[in-house]
Amino acid sequence: MRLPEAWIISVGNELLNGRIVNTNLAWLSRKLILDGYLVRCALTVRDDCEDIVMAFRLAVDKGASLIVSTGGLGPTFDDMTSECLSKALGRRHVLNEEALRMVEEKYARRNLPMTEHRVKMAMMPENARPIYNAVGTAPGVMVEEGPTLILALPGVPSEMMDIFERVEGLIRSRAPPMSYVSVDLVVRGVPESEAAPLIEEAMRRFSVYVKSHPSGQELGLPILRVNVTSSSPSEEEARLNVEGALRLLSERFRERGGNVEEAQAHSPGSG
C-alpha cells in the first residue's frame, strides 16, 4: 500500500544553535506513522521568512499530503511562521475572527488588554481554520492547499501535543484505514518518574505509542495506568507490536517490584 506522505517543518534558531534537541520531531513522527502516514522529510529552519517560505513551498511542490510545522506562532517579532505560510501559499494574511475570539478569551480571563502583539496571534492565511490551544495562547493554524493539508503548531511541546491531538481524528481520516490495538496496564508500586525510562525503552524497541497516567494511590502505593497503542495496515502487526511492548513493560515493572495487570481485553478495530 502506498501511504500518504507527511513532511515536518521545525522553525526556530534555537534548534540550529545546538542548545535544544528537537524532541517534537520524534514525537510527531511516531504519531504520524501510527496515524497511517510515511514521514518523508523533516526540515529545520531559522526564524527567517525566506527559509520558512522555502520549506513550505518545497513540501507542497513535492506533493506532501500533510505538512506539520512547529514553532514561530507566538506574539514576538521573530514569530513569523503564520505570516510566511501566507506568503508561501500566495494568500492574503488576514485577521481570523474565530482565532481573535480564542486569543481574546485567554487574555480577558487574566484581565489583560489586547495589544498589537496579541492580535498578531489571530492573523492567519485567508481561509485558514484556527485550532484551539488549551495549554497556551496562540491557536494552531490549519489550511488546505490543493491536496495538501497544512497544520502549523506552536513549538512548546505541551501546546504542540495538545493541538495536534485535537485534530488527530481528521489527520487519521485522510490516511488509509489502519487497524488499531490499544491495551491498558494497571501498575501498582512504581512511581511515574521511574516508569519514564522504561516507557522510552518500549517506544524505542516497538512501533507503539505509550502514555502513562498517574491514577492515585492504594495502600500507599502509587497506581499508574499505562496505555499502549499501535496501528498498522495489518491488524496482525499492530497486535504483535502491542504484545511485544506489553511483555517488555510488564517484565521491567516487575523487576522494580511493581504489580502489573491488564485493565481490559485487546480492542482491535479499523480506524
Nearer to its own copies, 30 or 91 (CB): 30
At its nearest, how many Å lie between its own copies and the CB of residue 157? Answer: 12
Nearer to its own copies, 45 or 195 (CB): 45
The residue to which cell 495502600 is assigned: 219
Of positions 4, 12, 45, 171, contacts its own copies by CB under 8 A = 45
Say which amino acid occupies 11.
V
Of positions 18, 90, 216, 220, contacts its own copies by CB under 8 A = 18
| Of 16-24, 84-92, 110-118, 219-227: span binding its own copies (CB under 8 A) | 16-24
Nearer to its own copies, 155 or 258 (CB): 155
The long-range contacts involving 26-34, CB below 8 angstroms and separated by at least 24 positions, are 27/157, 27/160, 27/161, 28/68, 28/70, 28/160, 28/164, 30/203, 30/209, 31/164, 31/168, 31/209, 32/6, 32/8, 32/66, 32/68, 32/171, 33/207, 34/178, 34/207, 34/209, 34/229, 34/230, 34/231
- CB 70, CB 85: distance < 8 Å: no
- CB 74, CB 121: distance < 8 Å: yes
Binding string to its own copies for residues 205 to 244, with x set by CB under 8 A, is what?
Answer: --x-------------------------------------
Asked if 33 interacts with its own copies (CB under 8 A), we say yes
Name the site residues for its own copies (rule: CB under 8 A): 15-23, 25-31, 33, 39-46, 48, 51, 54, 58, 62, 203-204, 207
